[in-house]
Amino acid sequence: MLEDKKVSKTSLSEIGEFGLIEQIKEGFPIRLETSIKGIGDDAAVLDYGNEKTVVSTDMLVEGVNFSWSYMPLRHLGYKAVVTAISDILAMNAIPKQILVSLALSNRFTLEAVDEIYNGMKYACDKYEIDIVGGDTTSSVNGLVINMTALGSAKAEKISYRKGDVKENDLLVLSGDLGAAFLGLQVLEREAQVTKVNPDNQPDLEQYSYLVERQLKPEARLDIVKLLAEMEIVPTAMIDVSDGLSSEVIHLSKENNIGFNIYEEKIPLDPAVIRTAEEFQINPITCALSGGEDFELLFTIKQEDFEKIKANPYLTVIGHATATGAENYLITKGSEQMIPLTAQGWGTGEEESED
Amino acid sequence: MLEDKKVSKTSLSEIGEFGLIEQIKEGFPIRLETSIKGIGDDAAVLDYGNEKTVVSTDMLVEGVNFSWSYMPLRHLGYKAVVTAISDILAMNAIPKQILVSLALSNRFTLEAVDEIYNGMKYACDKYEIDIVGGDTTSSVNGLVINMTALGSAKAEKISYRKGDVKENDLLVLSGDLGAAFLGLQVLEREAQVTKVNPDNQPDLEQYSYLVERQLKPEARLDIVKLLAEMEIVPTAMIDVSDGLSSEVIHLSKENNIGFNIYEEKIPLDPAVIRTAEEFQINPITCALSGGEDFELLFTIKQEDFEKIKANPYLTVIGHATATGAENYLITKGSEQMIPLTAQGWGTGEEESED
């Protein structure tokens, strides 16, 4: 996944929009039976038979959602796909197709666009999805990517944010948290050093897990498949894109129920604990307020606990308390109950407003 | 549809992203039975039963696809919806839902965003579609809008670009062409005059049809409904977004068949003829190369001619000639056969590359 240093530079005006579309189309033959018609018509045609269609859209803006100073183009393409399909997975649905819109300034070459699509192709292969359409336009400056993802699920399997959460339902999290946020801190620190000293050869080996979680995150298709195998339908579900605290508050508000989460249960990778210390941040704060982990957060009935308890990818981090109750973080040893807030890291604003 | 001069200015950071989403959600309650879940979850859920899902996406970039110097925000919202659903109609499908992504710089106020959504609401009411999702993010400068439209159709009713066009199939166009292009010329001329003389009070009355076609175009839902009533399934179809010439060439290439179109048959409004003369442009060139008319261009079997011949909204402008043949414009009195090219207006580049 490392980016090659290309020497060839083809301006996009040489190949033209239709040439570019043709090239993209060749790189993404459709593979799914549900993709009846893909790139190259006014619209794509999909067949979901008696399943429900699930659809979501996300916009990524250069200088806001990503920066070239640390984000290779191929990783950007990969991450754009992951961002898109994570919302479909958060409905307990299977992602099937994506549509990609790009606005490109004239500093982008064909080779640069190829790199973005190569990353997308890598992700499409991994998650077995088709690119079935998109749009390409110019931008005055910078790059804007918009991703639309479609998926499907049987009606009775879909997990909404506003679900059917009952008192004492368990709050379950996949994977671990805080790594993507710390990966970004590491990359931004190195970018600053490189600005002052262009010969800087960063040794990021000790941060490799964090950097990978930031640059090449994964969407939890495995968890949605696992839940189906275990015959669990979460009573509510959301993906962790803005930090655990914000997502717990979403579930709480939508279901009019409070949650207690336990500090000692929140899964943290050793690299998160070590690096948070280096940056003098509480690692729990990274988990609560750092975004982009793309893990799934969901509630299950008490009686489903037996099915998940031995699973290394799933952790019960808390439970629903009572209708209308507030949300609390219970600190280690049950010493304190701290009310959860949707505050982003440091700025006092919501993370997604940054 | 004229924009009110608002005095109230609410910065978006005051209301926050979640506040903005809440407000948008309240303004767009879902109306269709096929929209099971709309704004406010990780993804929307749609139900198309045994029909096929048709989906398309379009990106509109400030300074590239529109300019504030002539485009009021409410019209921009309206036109964004029309642009999106026109692609669904071009598949002979019925548009049902849209998803809207906005990237906004900090010069936008809540009132400005409201104006955009007011225009979208007006269009959603007119075309009976639901907004079921979207994304809102910051931009470094300028506004970017991405629209994703979904619709549905029975499999046997869908008209593809690459269809089943036979020799002597008739080439049919809805409405008339060239007006949106000339409307843009008029608006840009006035914007230049206003730059030099801010007291300029443009009298656009004689150009009202042209300006309306540019600022508030309509998507031809009526034509798709009409075709269903007439029991016509076009053998191929496309919408005219880049100019007639480019669209004829698309149909030709996809179906490996040539077309002859007749200059005297191309429908032009009297205002197009008059204003083209004023700008010293051939009005046929406006029809061939001017974009954004959002009319439908399609082929039908010879035997369907009886069904459409009396219809004032439909004009037979030519016919398919032979497999592998070139495309020609036959001038008035059959004096000349001019090969069609995809050249945009003036620049020698493809229009959509501008």
The residue among B77 and B45 whose pLDDT is bigger is: B77
Determine the average pLDDT of the residues in B170-176.
98
State the Cα–Cα distance between residues A235 and A233, nearest whole angstrom: 6
Residue A106 has pLDDT above 80, yes or no: yes
The residue among B335 and A262 whose pLDDT is bigger is: A262
Closest-CA residue of B relative to A14 is: B349
State the Cα–Cα distance between residues A174 and A273, nearest whole angstrom: 18
Residue A249 has pLDDT above 90, yes or no: yes
- pLDDT, residue B50, reads 78
CB B213 within 8 A of CB B322: no
Closest-CA residue of A relative to B141 is: A141
Residue B255 has pLDDT above 50, yes or no: yes
Determine the average pLDDT of the residues in A258-263.
97
State the Cα–Cα distance between residues A48 and A53, nearest whole angstrom: 7
pLDDT for A160-190, tens place per residue? 999 999 999 999 999 999 999 999 999 999 9
Residues of chain A with CATH 3.30.1330.10: 15-155
State the Cα–Cα distance between residues A18 and A1, nearest whole angstrom: 28
Helices (H), chain B: 12-27, 73-89, 110-127, 179-196, 208-215, 221-229, 244-255, 270-278, 283-289, 305-308
Residue B234 has pLDDT above 70, yes or no: yes
Instruction: Point out the residue among B41, B47, B139 whose CB comes nearest to the CB of A160.
Output: B41
Q: Is A101 annotated in some ligand binding site?
A: no
CATH classification number, A15-155, choose in 3.30.1330.10, 3.40.50.620, 3.40.50.300, 3.20.20.10: 3.30.1330.10
Question: Which residue reads 């801010």 in tokens?
Answer: B198
Q: Is B117 annotated in some ligand binding site?
A: yes
- pLDDT, residue A344, reads 36
CB pairs under 8 A between A and B: 225
Inter-axis angle of helices B270-278 and B179-196, nearest 10? 40
Phi/psi at A56 (5° precision): -150, 155
Go through chain B and tell me how many residues it has.
Answer: 354
Report the alpha-carbon angle A117-A122-A126, nearest 5: 140
Q: Could you give the dihedral angle defined by the CA atoms of residues A198, A199, A205 and A207, in that order, rounded to the nearest 10 degrees?
A: -20
State the Cα–Cα distance between residues B342 and A337, nearest whole angstrom: 68
Contact A16 B353 (CB under 8 A): yes
Token digits for A203? 């040794």
- pLDDT, residue A310, reads 92
**DSSP secondary structure string for all residues of A26-71:** HH-----TTEEE-TTSSSEEE--TTSEEEEEEEEEEBTTTB-TTT-
Closest-CA residue of B relative to A83 is: B42
Chain B interface disruption, residue of A59, A141, A298, most B CBs within 10 A:
A59
Residues of chain B with CATH 3.30.1330.10: 13-157
**Which residue from B145, B96, B138 is spatially nearest to B117, judged by alpha carbons?**
B145
State the Cα–Cα distance between residues B78 and B219, nearest whole angstrom: 11
- pLDDT, residue A266, reads 97
pLDDT for B299-309, tens place per residue? 999 999 999 99
pLDDT for A318-328, tens place per residue? 999 999 999 99
Determine the average pLDDT of the residues in A283-291.
94
CATH fold, domain B13-157, is: 60s Ribosomal Protein L30; Chain: A; (3.30.1330)
Of all residues in chain B, what percent carry a pLDDT higher than 90? Answer: 67
Q: Where are the beta strands (DSSP E) in chain A?
A: 35-37, 44-46, 52-61, 94-104, 130-138, 144-153, 170-174, 236-240, 257-262, 295-300, 314-323, 328-330, 337-339
Predicted confidence band at B37 (pLDDT cuts at 50, 70, 90)?
confident
Determine the average pLDDT of the residues in B92-119.
91
Domain A170-353: give its CATH architecture. Answer: Alpha-Beta Complex (3.90)
Question: Which residue reads 């879902």 in tokens?
Answer: B30
Residues of chain A with CATH 3.90.650.10: 170-353
pLDDT for B17-33, tens place per residue? 777 778 778 888 888 88
Residue B93 has pLDDT above 60, yes or no: yes
> Taking all residues of chain A, what is their mean pLDDT, rounded to a whole number?
89
Report the alpha-carbon angle A182-A186-A190, nearest 5: 165
Token digits for A39? 């790139």
Chain B segment 152-181 residues within 8 A of A by beta carbon are: 155, 158, 160-162
Q: Please enumerate in sequence order all residues whose Cβ is within 8 A of that of A311, keeping only pairs 6 or more positions apart, or say none.
A: A226
State the Cα–Cα distance between residues B109 and B92, nearest whole angstrom: 38
ipTM for the predicted complex: 0.88
**Which residue from A45, A34, A20, A47 is spatially nearest to A101, judged by alpha carbons?**
A20
CB B34 within 8 A of CB B153: no
- B chain contacts of residue A37, beta-carbon cutoff 8 Å: 160
State the Cα–Cα distance between residues A299 and A164, nearest whole angstrom: 9
